[in-house]
A and B are shown apart, each in its own frame.
Chain A
Amino acid sequence: MNIEEYRGIWVFLEHKDGAIVPVSLELLGAGRRLADKRGVPLSGILIGDGVKGLAAEAIAYGAETVYVYDDPIFHHYRTESYMRAVIACVEKYKPEIFLYGATSTGKDLASAVATDLATGLTADTTMLDVDAETGLLEASRPAFGGNIMATILCKKDRPQMATVRPKVVKALERDPERTGEVIEEPVELREEDIRTKVLDIVRHTVKKVRLDEADIIVAGGKGLGGRVGFEMIGEFAKRIGASVGGSRDAVEAGWIEHSRQVGQTGVTVTPKIYFAIGISGAIQHLVGMQNSGLIIAINKDSNAAIFQACHYGIVGDAFEIVPMLTEAFDQALREEVKHG
């Protein structure tokens, strides 16, 4: 492998329901920064069925070139089909750095591609940088369950690949005036060669709240002691129109379901307001919410780490404070109704 031959920053453009997913747009933003530092072009790779039109979006968000693989065989994401397109593209155009969103699809795809290309892949990256001279991608991520941060390098193999967590880098401003090239690539795959078939896709019918889209989150931890505690903060959340989340301890104790887990092995959230109630503030949890706009912590233990990570903290009994806060909101609501 001649490293010199590999040039350019690529982003895998994941799409859903006719739009490019936010993390891919974010990666174009990060990719732009890396590309400028290295003085190389930024490209996107778009694979799907009837997705050509999305290439323009990618360009509006910073891609200079978009390689398109458009074919009914790519209608649903499948490892075996997408992987072949990606590998063909990489072998043809040789990027030096290739970024994917750390989504279920992105991680699945990148793992398979990295093995076939025998190259390095860093998972769940939260910080990206590149050395302008050596071209080494510095992909940093929490490791050991979030207890440490590690920077991973891929020195001798190309492309250097990384899956990147949503919401850790920012997309550029959308600029429809931006121009770029759309290159449609030939697809030589046959359906018979793909060994899996998507029989059905079942979306949750009750539109489950997307914690990562909520403006306000009220999260509870071990300090709440049980389901009763969660009912209490649930009441509060209802009053203020917030979504409820939980720490890993609370999820593992069965007080709240896994889809609401905030943290390293759960969801990363960036709400405008985040209430951490009865949560100690272990690193694994902080990693999932520390970029929230306003963080309020309530905990009985004055030494809890959460107080180092919040904007405002109350050392007190949640079972006392939260109902009082709920009542304050109730009262305000009553005032408004009275005078409204």
Chain B
Amino acid sequence: MLHIVACIKQVPDTKIIKMNPKTNTMDRSSAPAILNPYDAHAVEEAVRLKARYGGKVSVVTMGPPPAVKAIRKCIEIGADEGYLITDRAFAGADTLATSYSLTKAIEKIGTMEPIDLIICGKMTIDGDTGQVGPGIARRLDIPPLTSVNKVVEMDREAGQAIVHRKLEDGYEVIQTTLPCLLSVEKEINEIPYSTLPNMMRAARYQPVIWSVEDLGIVDRTKLGLKGSPTIVAKVWPPDKPKGGEMLQGSSEEQVNRLFSILMNKKELFHKSGATEEGGVQ
């Protein structure tokens, strides 16, 4: 029986979010809040491990009250319990302060039921850092394994697990002690359509909500803005390069013009397309 804790975050859908051109800030109302896609895969992996080895999946998130919706999404995927830590004191946290706060919550969850594995998404689509997972691991003094794209096996009794870590050009097979922290790639699994019973359970589910007071002994200087070594000093829209030359005329004329432009770089083109694999596999 495994107790797995998944760390998740509710994020704006950065694929469709729009900038407010006047204030250079994100117009959060322009995009719906969603469960961070990488975290969804982490929860799905935890649910699969539960199916395989038996056990329980708890999810924890630090965020404002609407983050409850993200927890419900996890219950839809199959998680059992959800914990939201929410408090003004957490505001303005960078990754160091965030990993501290989440660690406190995880420690509290651990006092109720010992934890075998912590799992999270490789990164969030709004912070894009991937730093919080390893940060939590270091604070709990458990091995962090990042970019995991497969869990080969978990052996709770032996206190060991074997996973694959993605490398730039392949993967490595790593054996680790338990408990450990895994941060996962999206490719680790595919999330199936949730069952109706899970949907109903999620719609009815009320997560456990904690404020700073509920977390036991906390060093407040490590929370939120105060506990953040980094600050965002400046924000600006990315440079837009000047426009290119638009080729005019009929399709034929355009193609001919383009072809002659390309022929200026003739030496780059292999005659028979003989790279290892010119083209799509």
Contacts and interface: CB of A to CB of B under 8 A. Distances in A.
Contacts of A121: 95-96, 129, 131, 230
Given A112-B138, A313-B245, A120 B96 contact: yes
A160 to B, nearest CB: 9
A170 B240 CA distance: 22
Contacts of A257: 281
B230 A329 contact: no
A315 B135 CA distance: 48
Contacts of B277: 206, 209, 243
Given A104-B146, A208-B169, A215-B268, A309 B278 contact: no
Contact of A328 (B147, B230, B256): B256
Given A154-B230, A316-B251, A324-B252, A104 B126 contact: no
Given A316-B251, A328-B256, A203 B170 contact: yes
Contact of B237 (A148, A153, A242): A148
A155 B231 contact: yes
A238 interface: yes
B134 A111 contact: yes
Nearest to A324: B255
A328 B259 CA distance: 7
B143 A79 contact: yes
Interface in B242-264: 242-247, 251-252, 254-256, 258-259, 261-263
Contact of A196 (B15, B131, B175, B244): B175
A146 interface: yes
Contacts of B130: 107, 111, 123
A312 interface: yes
Interface in A274-311: 283-284, 286-287, 290, 294-297, 305, 307-311
A204 B170 contact: yes
Interface string B99-130: 10000000000000000000000000111111
A240 B278 contact: yes
Given A79-B134, A144-B126, A336-B271, A197 B241 contact: no
A128 B112 CA distance: 46
Contacts of B166: 104
Given A107-B146, A111-B130, A209-B277, A144 B170 contact: no
B157 interface: no
Nearest to B19: A147
A234 interface: yes
Interface in A181-237: 195-204, 206-210, 214-216, 230-231, 233-235, 237
A5 interface: no
Interface residues of B, number: 91
Given A201-B170, A311-B245, A237 B279 contact: yes
A196 B255 contact: no
A175 interface: no
Contacts, number: 294
A312 B246 CA distance: 6
A241 B279 CA distance: 8
A272 B145 contact: no
B135 A111 contact: yes
B176 A116 contact: no
Contacts of A242: 273, 275, 278
B261 A283 contact: no
Nearest to B167: A104
B171 interface: yes
Contacts of A26: none
A120 B139 CA distance: 15
Nearest to B18: A147
B244 A144 contact: no
B39 interface: no
B269 A234 contact: no
Given A144-B14, A144-B26, A147-B14, A153 B233 contact: yes
6 contacts: A79-B144, A121-B129, A145-B14, A238-B273, A241-B274, A295-B244
Interface of B: 12, 14-15, 17, 19, 24, 26, 94-96, 99, 125-131, 133-135, 137-139, 143-147, 162, 165-177, 180, 186-187, 228-247, 251-252, 254-256, 258-259, 261-263, 265, 268-281
Interface of A: 76, 79-80, 103-104, 107-108, 110-112, 114-116, 118-124, 138, 140-157, 195-204, 206-210, 214-216, 230-231, 233-235, 237-244, 248, 256-258, 264-265, 272-273, 283-284, 286-287, 290, 294-297, 305, 307-317, 320-321, 324-325, 328-329, 332-333, 336
Given A145-B125, A197-B174, A264-B128, 17 more contacts: A79-B145, A118-B96, A146-B14, A148-B235, A153-B230, A155-B231, A157-B229, A196-B180, A201-B170, A202-B173, A209-B275, A283-B238, A290-B241, A313-B246, A317-B251, A328-B256, A332-B263
